[in-house]
Amino acid sequence: MGDRSAVADYVRIGTRPGRWVLLTTVLGSGMAMLDSTVVNVALPHIGADLNADMAVLQWTVNAYMLTLAGLILLGGALGDRYGRRKVFVIGVVWFAAGSLLCGLAPDAGVLIAARALQGIGGALLTPGSLAIIQAGFHPDDRARAVGVWSGLGGVGAAVGPFLGGWLVDGPGWRWVFLINVPLAALCVPVALRHVPESRDPRAHTGRFDATGAALGALTLALATYALIEAPGQGSSRLVVGAAVAALGLGVAFARRERRLPEPMLPPDIFRSRVFTAVNAVTVCVYAAFGGFFFLAALQLQVVVGYSALGAGAALLPTTVLMLLLSARSGELGQRIGPRVPLTVGPLLCAAGMLLMLRVGEHASYVRDVLPALFVLGLGMVTLVAPLTATVLGSVDAGRAGLASGINNAAARAAGLIAVAALPLAAGMGPEAYRSAAEFGATFRRAMPMCAGSLALAALVAFLTVRRPAEAVVEPQCRMQCGVSGPAIEPGRGE
């Protein structure tokens, strides 16, 4: 696996080196996950300060998600070839530079462009963080390490609204971006000193599929443009042309990946039924999460009347549950297999989102908001860690960067499309976030759509993930890794 040659080279989770590796990967990926949610609570203030409509708020979220989703596969491949730690560190530095530009942006156009630059950094560091864990930890400890990584990374995503609210109501919305600079300054030296380098020897030859990466990114960009601009422009030539072009480029991307000898997205990795199924589950789950967290922070401020800090604090129950229970969820998934967590978790999340229908203009936090978020948090705890490790357990460990990249791309693309499409599907106009009545009505139409996506995820998992994941490990890798039987690992499939 990677460039390691013996089990003795691996770190153990209870040791000092293991803790350093976990700290580094959690800092890096947590920074990116934090940024994915911390921005949501700042959106009303960004809109007011920059005199922006709903489309600008969507682009503020989606410019980041677009480059992240479009380039994350390339980021995983770069790490496998040139060194996962090296690419991870470059990604952290790039992300911090993009964050600094966001914090200094004088207008909406510069902010959106800087968010796109942030996404490039995220595409480099996100797959590397999980691949470092998979390549660095002893096989017996990987499941627990992934569970800890997933849990603490989930906490980073969940604590984002609270931290964002505190920053927005205090020094201002620009600090939701500037906060990343000191985090990166801590992460980089720790990574360089304490994280061992690893790479996939098989990835040292051949060319990168840069054309494939460009086709994939352009497909997402044009589809996103069509969905975001449709409420304001209707069926204009630009909107229709972007939609048609996105469809054509998507077909061209799929055909290219099937024909290339060394594609960015190798079709053979989808021979694993569980890998394919769990990525489908990922799309459904993260589409719902993306839509929910984008709209919920706005609902609590625009309709319920919370401050930015109040809206962020309201979402803390999910943070607490993820912090307390995610590692145990990973261990449970290892013992019983992924099918039950991947079925029950989405259903709990769907129930939580339906309970959010009670959150209106005069909602009580204890009676209306808290029960919904508690049920949602339980679903996230049940789901997130097993979803991650199931993907990793379904492929050869030497392809950890690729598998992580594909799964992350699926998750980010799903969130991207949800943020673009959900306001359109719910009938949300360009100025909806300025009106409590209009936004509340569209929010009530959007939550059942999110719940339906989660119910579909549960159905797919129940029908397709029938037994614990068995890693597809080559005989030589089995000997090197000390793996003699099925590798059952909880997380994000056979």
Residue 338 has pLDDT above 50, yes or no: yes
Stretch among 95-99, 196-200, 365-369 having the lowest mean pLDDT: 196-200
Tokens matching residue 315: 């979402």
pLDDT per position as a tens digit, 389-400? 788 777 776 666
Per-residue confidence band for 313, with pLDDT thresholds at 50, 70 and 90:
confident
Which residues, at least 6 apart from 8, have a Cβ–Cβ distance to it below 8 Å? none
Residue 4 has pLDDT above 70, yes or no: no
The Cα–Cα gap between 206 and 472 comes to 23
Question: What is the amino acid identity at position 385?
Answer: A
pLDDT of residue 370: 95
Q: Is 307 left (phi over 0), alpha (psi -120 to 50) or beta?
A: beta
- The torsion angles phi and psi of 33, rounded to 5 degrees, stand at -70, -40
First to last CA, the chain: 18
pLDDT per position as a tens digit, 10-40? 777 767 777 888 888 888 887 877 776 788 8
Which residues, at least 6 apart from 165, have a Cβ–Cβ distance to it below 8 Å? 41, 307, 308, 309, 310, 311, 312, 313
Per-residue confidence band for 331, with pLDDT thresholds at 50, 70 and 90:
confident
Mean pLDDT of the chain: 81
Tell me the DSSP string of 57-82.
HHHHHHHHHHHHHHHHHHHHHHHHHH
Residue 352 has pLDDT above 80, yes or no: yes
pLDDT of residue 136: 77
What Å distances lie between residue 104 and 158, 172, 185, 212, CA to CA? 25, 12, 18, 33
The Cα–Cα gap between 425 and 418 comes to 10
198 vs 436 pLDDT, higher one: 436
Per-residue confidence band for 156, with pLDDT thresholds at 50, 70 and 90:
low
Per-residue confidence band for 474, with pLDDT thresholds at 50, 70 and 90:
very low
Instruction: Tell me the average pLDDT across 234-256.
Output: 87
Per-residue confidence band for 3, with pLDDT thresholds at 50, 70 and 90:
very low
pLDDT of residue 205: 59
Residue 157 has pLDDT above 80, yes or no: no
- Strand locations in 272-394 (E): none
pLDDT of residue 1: 42
Strand, coil or helix: 11: strand
Contact in structure between 204 and 35 (CB atoms under 8 Å): no
Residue 106 has pLDDT above 70, yes or no: yes
Residue 309 has pLDDT above 70, yes or no: yes
Stretch among 104-108, 238-242, 261-265, 272-276 having the lowest mean pLDDT: 261-265
b/e per residue 372-383 (b: at least 16 CB within 10 A):
bbbbbbbbbbbb
Which residues, at least 6 apart from 393, have a Cβ–Cβ distance to it below 8 Å? 468, 469, 470, 471, 487, 488, 489, 491, 493
Nearest to 87 by CA among 44, 147, 134, 127: 127
The Cα–Cα gap between 412 and 287 comes to 8
What Å distances lie between residue 227 and 47, 423, 447, CA to CA? 19, 9, 18
Instruction: Tell me the average pLDDT across 180-186.
Output: 91
Count other C-beta atoms under 10 Å from residue 241's C-beta.
13
Instruction: Tell me the average pLDDT across 42-57.
Output: 89
Which residues, at least 6 apart from 23, have a Cβ–Cβ distance to it below 8 Å? 190, 194
Contact in structure between 284 and 414 (CB atoms under 8 Å): yes
pLDDT of residue 394: 73
What Å distances lie between residue 275 and 186, 259, 280, 391, CA to CA? 35, 21, 9, 6
pLDDT of residue 116: 93
